[in-house]
Structure 1
C-alpha cells in the first residue's frame, strides 16, 4: 500500500503541475549559446525584438544585429554603434535609439537598410544634448524615444518634446498603457500627449524600476533593481512576498518579459533568470551552471514560438521552451543512464558512475543527483520488483531504500533481474557468469543458487514459464530450467526465424507475450511444433515503420522502438489503436545508449528516457509548435555588382531582370526556425537548370555560374529538426540575352540576312551573265584551241607521215645500200675471179698456140683485163656510203677527233651490220685484220669489254 500511495502522490503532483501550466518544471530545456564571435559584435545586448517574418533583432553596443536563423547582419548608426532600444512597426521600419541619436532603419528597393535620422529635427537651441535613448515605444501611432531628460514624440514627420518633471528613469508599455518613472513624481502615465502621475508611487523615487507587468485583479507588478518586487493596485504599493521576490532581492533585477500570458521571466544581475507564475512560485531557474554563458541578463524576449531569448552582459542565449523534452545532464551531476525509476518520491537513475537519485517533491530545486551509498561504479539496472527497489550493478544485486543500500543479495555483478511467471517467490538474475536464482523468504529476497550448465551473459533476457530466452552471438538461445531450478536442463539455439527472414533482430515482451523480430516481422514460438510463426496483427503495427533493432513496451502499453540510433513510439490511444510519434525525439538521435533502451513511463505526462549524456524528460501532452510547418525564405539574391536582400520589409518585385554579363548568381536561404539549427536542412531547385530537387543539406547558400539567358524560377523548401517540411518558396528572375542574342539583334540578323541574300542574288545574276559571256568566250577559245589542236595534230600527223616516209626511205636506202654492197661484193668477187683468170692466163704458154688462137687468146686476155680495170662499182659504193652516213660520220668525228678515215669506214660497215667476212672482203683484209681493227676502234671509243660496239655506234 505504501508503494501505491507513493506513486499516487507523485502522479498527482506531476499531473497537477501540467494541468495548471505548460511550463516545464522537470529538467532543463535545450540551451543554445551565441558568443560575440558568432555575431561579431560587442558583448552586451540590451533589447530583442522580432519582425513579422520571424527574423530576430538585437540592440548591441556596436549596432543593430539581425539573425534569420542562417546568418547575422549588422546595421550601424552614423555617429555611434551603440543602440540601447528599438521597436519594429508594421511597415518594417525599425525605430532605434542610441547615444545622442535616434531615427529609423528602412529597407530600400533592394532590401538594404538605410538609416534616416530623426534627431536632426530637434532645434539645437532648445536641446543641446540628447543623451542615451534608453527606451523606444510604438504607442497610438506615435514613436516615443525616452532619455533621462526628455521624451521625444515623433508623429507625421514632426517631433515634439516632453521634459522630465525631475529626472526620468525608464518607461514601460504595459498592455495599452505607457508608464514612465520619474525620480521626483514617481510613476507617470502618458495620456494624450501629457504625463499624469499615479497615486502613491513616489515611494519608488529612490528605487530604479526595471519592469512593470500586469497581474490579475488589475494589479501591476513592479520590479526594482535592488529592492525586489512590489504589487501596485493604483492605490498603494506593497511588497510581493513570494519565492520570486526573495530571489530577485538577493540577485538584483534587470527587467523581464511575459511568457504565454501565465508566466513571468525575470532577469537577474548575478544569477541568470527565473520563470515564475503570477503567484510568485518559481517554476524554472537558468544560470551559468545550467548552460547560460553569463549570469547577468540585460534583457529577455519570448519569440513567436514561445521560446526565450536572452541578451546577456556577454553574448546571446536561446532557451528552447517550445520542445516537450527537457534534460537532466552534466549540470545535475549525471552521465550515461542505463535505467531509471521513481520510487517513494525519489527519481533513481542507473549510470556508469553508480546509482544516483534526487527528490521529486521539490522539482524546482537546483540540487544535483546524489550517489546511493554502496553503488559506486557501473550500475546496469534499477527495478521495482514485488514492492522492493532492486539494483543490478558491479557491486552485485542490491536492495535500495531511502537513498541507501540496505541489503546485498549477491556480490556477483548483475545485469538485470526478472520474476519467474507462475512462481512469484522466485526471481532469476543475469550476472557476469550466467544466471542465478533468487527466492523470497520472509518478504526478503535471498540468493538461492547459480544455474549450472551455461557460462556467459547477454545484455537482456526474457522468461517464459520455465524457459529462458535471450540473443547472443547472432543466435537465439532457449534454455529450459530443471524443476528444482538448480541447473539448465537443455539448451537449444536457433539461427533464423524462418526461411524468408534470415537472422535475428530482437527479442521482446509485448502484450505479455514473447515476440521474436527480424526485418519488422514478428514471430511467436510454438513449443509443440518447435518452430516460429508470424503474428500478422503485430506485423501490421510495424509495417510502415523504418527497420527497427530494439523494442520495449512500457506499463501503459506504449511500444517504444529504436531505428538507426533514433527513437520512436507507438503511443496507445484509449480505443486500443496506436499513433506513431517520431518528431519530438529527433534531437535524441545518436544519444541513446546502445543495447540499453531505458524508458520510464510514470504517466501520460511524464516519461524519462536514458541517454549517453544524462536523462531526458518527455511530456507528450505539452502543447508545442513542432507540427507547425516551418517557413522557408530566399534571404538574398546576389549577382556580380549587386545584392538583393529579400524580406526586410521592402516591396518585392514580381520578377528580377539581370544582364547576361552578370549570369553568375548566388542565393542564401533562411528559416526562422531556431530550435536545433544544426539539424535544419534546405532543398532547392532552379527551374530552367536543375532537373530535380537537390538533396537535403544544412548549407544555406547555393551558387550558379554561366547561366544561359532565359526565365528561371528558384524554389526552396526547408525541413526542421523534427522532420516537418515547409511549403515551397520561389523567386522569379530573368537573365537577359547578350546583345548578340537579343531579339532586336535577331531582327537585325534577319534584315542583314535578307539584304545579304538580295545582294548575293544580284551578284549571282551578274555573275551568271558574266559567266555566260565568259562561257561564250571560253567556248570560242576552246573551239579555237580545238581547231589549233586539230591542225597541230594534223601537222604532227603529216610530220609523222613524213617521218615514216623518211624512215621508210631510209630503210629502202639501207636496203639499197645492202643490195649495193652485195652487188659490190659480187663485183669484187667477179674481179677477183677475173684476176685469178688473168694470172692463170699468164701462166699459159701461148707459143704453142697458132696465130689465130694466139690472137684470140690475146684478145680475150685484153678483154678480161679491160673489164677488171674499167669496173668502178667499189668506188661508187664508198661514195654512196659516205653520202648516206654523212651525219653519223660527222658526229663520230666531232666526238672522237683522233679516229682515222680507215676506222670511220669500219665504223660505217659495222653500223650497216656487215659481217666480219664481208668487211674483210670490202676492206681487202683478212678476218684477223678486221678483228684487230675492231679492237683498235673500241680503244679509240673508250669502250670496255662488256659494252657492245655496234649498239654504241647506233646510239651516236
Structure 2
C-alpha cells in the first residue's frame, strides 16, 4: 500500500494533484511577471508586479503604482506598512484617510549622485527595527526616517533572512552574515561565487539548504557545503531553480525556470510536480509563497498561480491520461479505473506520477463498472463482461453490455448480472466463471438493482419491480410492482442495501419490505439518520461502512462511520465536486479511512477524510469599500474607522464585500443585513456588491457574513455610519421652526387685534351694503317671478288653444266622415228613379235630395280641417321646412296626414285626389326627403 507521510500534520499528498487556479494578467490588470508575494494580517495578498503593486482580497483585484512602475520585492511590517523595491525606487505604502494605498518614497532621501547607482531593488527585508533594500551594488538601510548605505564588497547577488539573521551573497566573498553594520563571511561558501544562490531554507538543527540557480541544491553545515543528492536535486540541475519556500515545516517548494515547481519532503523525495502540462499556465516560477492557510501561491513569468494544498482532495485527470471515470477498484496491488475509453491501471505501491496509468489492451470502449467478487475482478463493459488479472483482460463471459453484477444470497457459485437486455446468471465452474443463461420474463434492468435472497429488486420510473427466480434460474416466476411505500409517499426513488438490509427510499424516508405481510415498514432509525440531509436521489454503502448519498443534479455527501457505530455527516467539503460527478453513475471507492477515490467527469478525485480538519477554518468577512455619491472609502484596508457621516443628498450608498478565502472562490457566498433598514439577513449570494438608495436620516450598521465551500460561516463584519437629515429636518431647523411658530403666533395675535378693530367698522359698512344688495336682489327676483308667471300664463293659453285646435281637428274629421256618408247616400239616391214615384213621394224625394246637397255644400269642415291641422302640427311643419327648404305646401300637407297615420283613402278624400294620386305623392315626397326604398316614411317623419 502507498504510504502517505505524516497524514495528520501534512496536507501534501502523494496521490494526485491539488486544485490549481490560474490568474492571467487580464484578471488582475497588471504586467505579466510577478517577482515577490506577501500577505497582510487581514489575509489580503500583494504581488510585486512589473506594472506596480497588485492587491487581491479574494474577491477583487486592485493596483497601486510607484515611480517607474516595476516592483521586484515586497515585505509587510507589523505596523501594516508595505515596503517595496523597484527600478531606481524604493519606499512604502500606507493607508490614507480614504483607505487607499498611498505611496511614500524613501529613496528621495538619497542625493542625486547616490541615486544614479541604485538600479533594481531585488530584496526587501525587515529585521528588528530596520528595513533593508538590497540592490546589486548597495543595500540601503532605513531606520528612524534616515538612510544609511551598506556597500557590497564586490557585487551583491541576493540576500536572505534565516532564523532572524540576515545573509548576503557577494560574487567574490561568498555568503556573509550581517552583524551590527558589518558583513561577516561564512566559511566554505566562496565556492558559490560563480553561481547565484536564490534561496536559503532551514532543514534541521544546524543545517541549511542552499538553492542555486544552475548548480543544484546544497546542504550547508558546520562551515561546509555539500551537494544534496536526491530526486529534488536532479530536478533542479535539469531545470534551474529560482528559489523556494518551506511548506508547513515538512515540505519544500522549489521553483524552476523550465518545468514549473516541485514539492519534496525533507529527504528530497518529490511528492508533487506541478507544471504547465498539469494545469499551471506557465512553467517559469519567479517566486513562491505559502499563505496563512498553508496554500501555495506562485508568481509566474506570466501570471499568478494558486495551488490548493490545504484540502483533503487531490485530482488525477488528463495529465494522468484519465478521462470520465465510472468506477475504480484496488485489486491485487493495482488500482484499476473504468473510463469511457477503456480500463487503466496503476501499481498501488508506486508513486503516482504523470502518464503513469497503463491502458489494458482489449478494453477499448465504455467500461461501466469494476467489481471485486470473491477474489475475482469483473469488468462490466459496453461490449460484454470479462475478468481482469495482473493488468490483463481475460476472456469475455458474455458479449452483451453489462451494468451491474451481484452475488446470489444463499447460492454460492452463482452471480446475477444486469445487462442491456435484462438479467443473466453466471456459474462458477472448475475452469472459472461462465455464462449460464439469460433470465426470461423481463427485458429491462438497471445497474442499481439489489437482492435480498428471496427477491430481486429493481427501480424504474418510481416503480419497484419485485422478481422471483424459478428453481432452474431460467425465468422470473413472479413479477410484482409497487408504486408507493405508504399512502402518503407516492413513488419509490431508490433501493439500496445497507448493513445487509435492503432499504427502499422516498423523500429521505427509508422502508424495509415484509415478506409475510407483503407491505413496506418504515425504519425510523434510518429515516432519522437522513432527517437533516438534503433530499437524496440514491445512496449506497461503501466497502468500509460509510454511506455515500447523492442529491440535486450532481452533488454528494457522506455519512462516515465512526468506531462506535454512529455516523458523522460530512457534506460541505464535497461542494468542491458539485457538477463534476458522473450523474447516475457516481463511483465511490473506499480503500481505507485515508484513501477514497471518487469518479469525476474528468478523472479521479482522491479524498482523505483524515485531513478534513485542515480545511474547516473559519473564514473572515470584510466590508471592502463603502461608497456614496462623490466619495469612496476602502474600508477593507483600514484598521480603524471613525464615525462615518454622510449628507442626506448622498443617501445612495454602495458596499463591496471580500473574504480572503482563496481555495474555492467560486463557492464563496455572502449574506448581509443593514441594521436600521433590513429586518432579516439576505439570502446567500455570490455577488459581493450591495446598493441602497434613498436612505432616511438615522444611524445604520452594515453587517456581512461569508460562508466558504466547506459550509463554515464567518463572524459578521460591521460598519456603522450615519445619514445626516436634510437641512429642513435638522435639529437646528426644528429650533428655527419653533421660533418661527412663536413669532408667527405673536405677529398673528397682534395683527388680529388690529384687524378686529378695523373689521368692526368694515363689518357695519358691509352689513349695510349687503342689506341694500339683498333688497335689490329681492326686487329683481320679484320682477323675474312676475315675468315667469306671465310666461307661464301665455304658455298655458297656448296649450289651451292647441287643445282646442286638436278638438276642432277631431270634430272636423268627424264632419268629413259625415259628409262622406252623405255623399254615399246621394250616390245611392241617384240610383232611384223619381219618375216611378207618385207626386207626393217624388216631392218628398226631391226635397230630401236638395236638403242633403245643401248640407254638403254649406259645410266648410274641409277648409277648417286643413287650418286646424296646420295649427296643431305647426312645430313639426316648421322643422320639416327648415330641414327640407324645397318641400311644397302640398307635400307638407301630405307629410302632416302621414304623421297623423291617416289611410290612403282618407288622404285621398282630404286632398281630393285618387288613391293612385296619393301613392304618387308619397313617392315624390320620399324622393324629396332623400329616403331609400327600405326606409319607413312615417317613422322618418315621426323622428323629425
TM-score range (shorter-chain normalised) is: 0.7 to 0.9
> Mapping of 1:179-218 within 5 angstroms?
179-218=167-206
Change (3 A) 1:662 1:358: same
- C-alpha contact 1:587 1:721 (8 A) present in aligned 2: yes
Cα distance change of structure 1 residues 323 and 783 upon mapping to structure 2, 3 Å threshold: closer
Decide whether the 8 Å contact of 1:92 with 1:649 is kept in 2.
no
Residue 299 of structure 2, aligned match among 311, 322, 326 = 311
8 Å CA contact retained: 1:415, 1:459: yes
The 1-side partners of 2:190 and 2:137 are apart by: 18
- The aligned residue for residue 632 of structure 1 is 621
**Maintained 8 Å contact 2:125/2:161:** yes
2:384 matched to 1:396? yes
Rate the CA distance shift 1:434–1:158 in 2: closer, same or farther, 3 A. same
TM superposition shift of 1:150: 0.4
CA 487–748 in structure 1, closer or farther in 2 if over 3 Å, else same: same
Residue matched to 1:328: 316
- Residue 366 (structure 2) pairs with residue 417 (structure 1): no
Equivalent position of 2:48 in the other structure: 59
**Equivalent residue, structure 2, for 1:609:** 598
The one of 580, 583, 586 equivalent to 1:591 is 580
Counterpart contact for 2:240–2:256, Cα < 8 Å = yes
Are the aligned partners of 2:404 and 2:448 in contact in 1 as well (CA < 8 Å)? yes
Q: CA RMSD in A?
A: 2.1
Q: 1:92: Cα distance to partner? A: 1.3
Distance in 1, matches of 2:773 and 2:387, equals 133
The alpha-carbon deviation at position 118 of structure 1 amounts to 0.8
1:491 to 479, 483, 491: 479
Structure-2 separation of matches of 1:192 and 1:16: 42
Partners of 1:463 and 1:97 in 2: CA distance: 71
Which residue in 2 is equivalent to 1:153? Answer: 141
Deviates more, 1:42-51 or 1:361-370: 361-370
Q: How far apart are 1:460 and its partner, in Å? A: 1.9
- Deviation of 1:39 (Å): 0.5
Aligned to 2:84: 96
Answer yes or no: is the 8 Å Cα contact 2:404–2:446 preserved in 1: no
Q: Is the 8 A contact 2:422 2:439 kept in 1?
A: yes
1:690 CA drift (Å): 2.5
SS in 2 for 1:120: helix
Alpha-carbon distance change, 217 to 691 in structure 1, aligned in 2, over 3 angstroms: closer
- Describe the SS at the equivalent of 1:622: helix
Shift of 1:760: 1.2
| Counterparts in 2 of 1:275 and 1:784: CA distance versus 1, 3 Å | closer
Q: Distance in 1 between matches of 2:772 and 2:415?
A: 132
Partner of 1:41: 30
User: Within 2, Cα distance between the matches of 1:464 and 1:536?
Assistant: 20
Per-residue CA distance 1:827-870 (angstroms, 9 max, x = gap): xxxxxxxxxxxxxxxxxxxxxxxxxxxxxxxxxxxxxxxxxxxx
Separation in structure 2 between the aligned mates of residue 780 and residue 608 of structure 1, nearest angstrom: 111
Deviation at 1:650, TM superposition (A): 4.9
Which residue in the other structure is 2:919 paired with? none
CA distance in 1, matches of 2:741, 2:770: 39
- Do the aligned partners of 1:22 and 1:623 also contact (CA within 8 Å) in 2? no
Give the aligned partner of residue 573 of structure 1. 562
Q: 74, 79, 82: which one pairs with 1:86?
A: 74
Aligned to 1:727: 715
- What secondary structure, in the 3-state scheme, does the structure 2 residue paired with 1:212 have? strand
Unaligned runs of 5+ in 1: 1-9, 801-944, 947-956
| Other-structure match for 1:651 | 640
Partner Cα distance (1:354, 1:625) in 2 = 36
Matches within 5 A, 1:390-789: 390-442=378-430, 444-564=432-552, 565-622=554-611, 624-653=613-642, 655-778=643-766
2:792 is matched with which residue? none
**Deviation string, structure 1 residues 924-948 (Cα, Å, up to 9, x no partner):** xxxxxxxxxxxxxxxxxxxxx99xx
The yes-or-no answer on 1:232 pairing with 2:238 is no
Would the alpha carbon gap of residues 675 and 126 (structure 1) be closer, same or farther in structure 2, given more than 3 Å must change? closer
The worse-fitting range, judged by mean Cα deviation, of 507-516 and 684-693 is: 684-693
Name the CA shift for 1:767/1:22 in 2 (closer, same or farther; >3 Å): same
Q: Distance in 2 between matches of 1:156 and 1:282?
A: 45
* Partner of residue 117, structure 1: 105
Instruction: Give the C-alpha shift of residue 366 in structure 1.
Output: 1.8
The 1:778–1:435 alpha-carbon spacing in structure 2 relative to 1, beyond 3 Å, is closer
Over residues 585-629 of structure 1, what are the superposed CA-to-partner deviations in whole Å (9 max), with x where a residue is unaligned?
011112222222211101111101112222111100015443222
Match in the other structure for 1:264: 252
In the other structure, the counterpart of 2:210 is 222
* 1:234 shift after superposition: 3.2
Q: Whole-Å Cα distance in 2 between the matches of residues 358 and 372 of structure 1? A: 11
Q: Contact between 2:597 and 2:605, CA under 8 Å: does it hold in 1?
A: yes
Q: Counterparts of 2:336 and 2:773 in 1: how far apart (Å)?
A: 124
How do residues 245-264 of structure 1 correspond to structure 2 at under 5 angstroms? 245-264=233-252
**What displacement does 1:21 show?**
3.8
C-alpha displacement of 1:457: 2.0
Change (3 A) 1:414 1:167: same
Asked if structure 2 preserves the Cα contact closer than 8 Å seen for 1:637 and 1:645, the reply is yes
Q: Is the 8 A contact 2:508 2:530 kept in 1?
A: yes
Q: Distance in 2 between matches of 1:784 and 1:250?
A: 125
- Stretch deviating more after TM superposition (600-609 or 728-737): 728-737
Higher Rg of the two aligned structures: 1
Distance 1:308 1:147, change over 3 A: same
Count of residues in Structure 1 that have an aligned counterpart in Structure 2: 783
Residue ranges of structure 2 left out of the alignment (5+ in a row): 787-869, 872-944
Kept in 1, the 8 Å contact 2:32–2:50? The answer is yes
Q: Secondary structure at the match of 1:750?
A: helix
2:129, 2:747 → 1: CA distance?
A: 74
> Is the Cα contact below 8 Å between 1:551 and 1:562 reproduced in 2?
yes
For residues 125 and 311 of structure 1, do their structure 2 counterparts lie closer, same or farther at Cα, with a shift above 3 Å needed? Answer: closer
Q: Which 10-residue stretch deviates more, 577-586 or 466-475?
A: 466-475
- Secondary structure at the counterpart of residue 110 of structure 1: coil
Name the SS for the 1:227 alignment partner.
coil
Contact 1:198 1:234 in 2 (8 A): no
TM-score between both structures, scaled by the size of structure 2: 0.81
Q: C-alpha deviations, 1:888-917, integer Å up to 9, x for none? A: xxxxxxxxxxxxxxxxxxxxxxxxxxxxxx
638-647 or 214-223, which deviates more: 638-647
Cα gap change, 1:17 to 1:403, in 2 (>3 Å): farther
Tell whether the 8 Å contact from 1:91 to 1:649 is kept in structure 2 after alignment: no
Change (3 A) 1:785 1:529: closer
The SS at the match of 1:647 is: helix
Asked if structure 1 preserves the Cα contact closer than 8 Å seen for 2:320 and 2:353, the reply is: no
CA shift at 1:129, angstroms? 1.9
Alpha-carbon separation, structure 2, partners of 1:485 and 1:785: 123
- CA shift at 1:691, angstroms? 3.0
Any idea what SS the aligned residue of 2:214 has?
Answer: coil
TM-score (norm. length: structure 1)? 0.80
Q: Which residue of 2 aligns with 1:913?
A: none
- Contact 1:550–1:597, Cα closer than 8 Å, also in 2: no
